[in-house]
Amino acid sequence: MQNDTLKPDSAAQIEAIIGYRFKDKSKLATALTHTSYSNEHREQNGSYERYEFLGDSILSYAVSKYIFNNLPDLTEGDMTKLRAMVVCEKALVRIMDDLKLHQFIRLSKGESKSSGGVRDSILADVFEAIAAAIFLDGGFREAEKFILRNISPFMQPDNNNAFEDYKTLLQEYVQQSNNSVNYCLVSSKGPEHEKTFLMQVRMDNKKIGEGRGKSKKEAAQNAAKNALDIILGGEGSHE
C-alpha cells in the first residue's frame, strides 16, 4: 500500500498552478487519483469520485452566484444557458489544458495505455475534484477563488464566444441523457445571393427546435438556440 500523498516537488508545482496551498496534501492527491490507479496501488483514500460529486455542486453554485451578482441584465434563460456553457465538459477540459494539470493525474498503466492518455471526461472530473479538495481543506471562499479565477474570463460581457456556439452547448446538454441530435434543411428561399435557410434540429426523429439564417450554419445555430430556449425554459418554469 502506497502513501496517499504526492511528492513534495509535484505538490508544490500543482499548488503554484492552482493558486492554493494545501494544509493536508492528501486531499490534493485524492483529487488527482483515478479509480484505476487507486485500485492498482490500494490507496486508503481512494479515488476522486466522491470529490467530483461534491465539486460539481460547488462549481454550479459558484458560477450561479457570479452570474447573478455580475451580469444583472441577463434573463433567467440566458443565465441558465451561460452557466451550462461554462460548466460543461468542453469548457472544463479547455481550462485543464491551459493549466497543464493532465501531467499530474494518476492513472493506472492499463487506463493510460488503453485511452492513449487522459480522457476528456477525466480532465473535467478532476477540475471538479480539485475544487472539492480546496473546499474541504480551506473552505468555500478558497474554492470559489480557484473556480472563478479560471472560469470568469468566459463569462465577461465582451466575450463574444459566450453564446455563439449553441450547437456545441446543445450537444453537451443532450449527451448527459445519452442522446444525440441531427440537423436537417427544411427550405431555402430567395434569390441566390440573398437566400434564407430554415433548419430543424431533431432528437429521436422529433423536432426540438428550428431556426432561420442567411447561411445553413447560421440557421443551424439558431435552431440549436431555439431548442435550448425550449428545453431550459421548460426546466426553469415552476408553473
* pLDDT confidence of residue 41: 66
Retrieve residue 168's grid coordinates: 456545441
* pLDDT confidence of residue 236: 42
Number of helical (H) and strand (E) elements in the chain, helices listed first = 11, 3
pLDDT per 10-residue tile (average), the chain, 239 residues: 62 94 94 81 78 97 94 86 85 90 85 71 94 98 95 68 67 81 93 86 93 89 88 55
Type of residue found at 235 = E
- Residue 235 appears among annotated catalytic residues: no
Q: What angle do CA 227, 231, 234 make, to 5 degrees?
A: 140
Report the CATH number of the 8-155 domain: 1.10.1520.10
* pLDDT confidence of residue 162: 47
* pLDDT confidence of residue 79: 87
Place of cell 434540429: 201
Beta strands in the chain (DSSP E): 182-189, 196-203, 206-213
* pLDDT confidence of residue 158: 52
Q: How far apart are CA 58 and CA 52, in angstroms?
A: 10
CB 80 within 8 A of CB 236: yes
Report the CATH number of the 166-236 domain: 3.30.160.20
Set 56, 111, 137, 144: catalytic member: 56
Set 43, 52, 125, 128: catalytic member: 128
Domain coordinates of the chain in residue numbers? 8-155, 166-236
* pLDDT confidence of residue 237: 41
* pLDDT confidence of residue 228: 84
Per DSSP, the three-state class of 106 is strand
* pLDDT confidence of residue 16: 94
* pLDDT confidence of residue 13: 93
* pLDDT confidence of residue 2: 43
- Residue 128 appears among annotated catalytic residues: yes
Look up the pTM and report it: 0.68
Query: Which residue(s) pair with 187 in the sheet?
Result: 198
